[in-house]
Amino acid sequence: MPNLPRLRRPREPQGSPGAQVVPEPTKPQVEVVEAEGLRWFNVEHPGGAERAWLEEHFDFHPLDIEDVLSSNQRPKIDEYPDYLFLILHVPVFDRKAGRLGAGEIDLFVGPDFVVTLPNQPVPPVEYLFSRCQDDEKLREKLFSRGSGYLMYRLVDDSFDYCFPMLRKIGNKLDALEEEIFEGHSEDVVRDISNTKQEIINFRKVIRPQRPVLRDLEKVKSRYLASDLDLEIYFDDIVDAHERIWDMLENYKEVVVGLEETNESFLSHRVNDVLRVLTAISVIVLPLTLIASIFGMNVGLPGGGDPSGSSDVHFYVIVGVMLVILVAMVGYFRKRRWL
């Protein structure tokens, strides 16, 4: 059983006033709750002090500790004779960036201890740990079933945390559909893009955990109490993951359909504008042609020129115009534009 960390304070410097003062070492940020012979250690934002604490109190593999301190680790599960090392990702909304990201939870699970090391505040872990601290009955109920059941509750609460976020995405899609059909197609382009990015990020978090859950089912029996039938609980985690994935697949199809519908509305609007402009052009074209012909700087037939040279010039110009017209119509028909 690992002991609680003790803070070692340096002695006061003795001797002359100029003696060098040794700085006090940083205290590891470790919280613990204990009941029924089981301890749950929660370490947020693990750093150098927390690494030293882990190395002092537990015999974890050095590679696992390196994975805890490194960022962007893929979900995985490693099995050792004395413990399990589990990495899970949970979708967390980053308010500073304004988008959905992945929160990493590292878990060490042994026969009589559980160590959680989230790389950032993860609401389901914080909430369950706070409840165990404040509610003695809940703490005894959870811890009496062993470390395997506590691991199940952590994983299950992490996946259950996804459903409210999915419902918000579903509400966004419903609102976008209403705005599109109300004629706000141009205004929802950015909203559709943002929602589509949220779904993509959500899928990136959920998808890599499928093989981890399959491996977890194989090794979970080592930490299940013999007098408790917890098989169905771990099967429920797999079912929850599948429901999340099915909802994401559905939302992916919906947002693609909304994007295509919005583009279709925008195309119809552009076509309506072009139709009006084309009608105006066709109406004005004969008037423009007549004005151009009678505005030429040559005499018109019957204009009173006794030599008739003005008439020749006029007919030559009209003939050239007809030749150009026939040539252009022939070229367009050859290119199958008409």
- The per-residue pLDDT for range 108-153, each reduced to its tens digit, is 998 889 999 988 888 899 999 999 988 888 888 888 888 888 888 9
**pLDDT for 248:** 93
Least reliable range by pLDDT among 2-11, 105-114, 181-190: 2-11
Q: Are strands 113-118 and 38-42 parallel, antiparallel or unpaired?
A: parallel
Contacts of 202 (CB under 8 A, 6+ apart): 91, 100, 162, 165, 166, 169, 248
Q: In the beta sheet, which residues pair with residue 104?
A: 89
Q: In the beta sheet, which residues pair with residue 77?
A: 86
High-pLDDT (> 90) share of the chain, %: 16
The answer to whether the CB of 77 falls within 8 A of the CB of 216 is yes
Tell me the per-residue pLDDT of 21-72, one tens digit each, with 9 for 90 and over.
444 557 778 889 998 889 999 988 888 888 888 888 888 888 998 888 887 7
CA–CA distance, 19 with 15 (Å, rounded to integer):
7
**pLDDT for 116:** 92
Q: Are strands 113-118 and 99-109 parallel, antiparallel or unpaired?
A: antiparallel
The answer to whether the CB of 41 falls within 8 A of the CB of 32 is yes
The answer to whether the CB of 150 falls within 8 A of the CB of 142 is yes
Encode 226-250: b = buried (16+ Cβ within 10 Å), e = exposed.
eeeebeebbeebeebbeebbebbee
Average pLDDT of span 247-260: 92
Q: Which residue has the tokens 């609007």?
A: 269
Average pLDDT, the chain: 80
Up-side HSE of residue 29: CA atoms within 13 Å toward CB? 10
pLDDT category of residue 19 using cuts at 50, 70 and 90: very low
Taking 90 as the threshold, does the pLDDT of residue 253 lie above it?
yes
Helix or strand (DSSP H, E) at 88: strand 84-94
Phi, psi of 200 (to 5 degrees): -65, -45
| Residue 65: closest CA among 46, 41, 39, 45 | 46
CA–CA distance, 195 with 252 (Å, rounded to integer):
10
High-pLDDT (> 70) share of the chain, %: 83
**pLDDT for 299:** 66
* Global pTM exceeds 0.85: no
Task: Output the six-digit token pair for 62.
Answer: 């050095």
Tell me the per-residue pLDDT of 281-324, one tens digit each, with 9 for 90 and over.
878 787 787 777 777 776 666 655 555 566 677 778 788 888 88
Handedness of CA 129, 115, 153, 252 (dihedral sign): positive
**pLDDT for 18:** 43
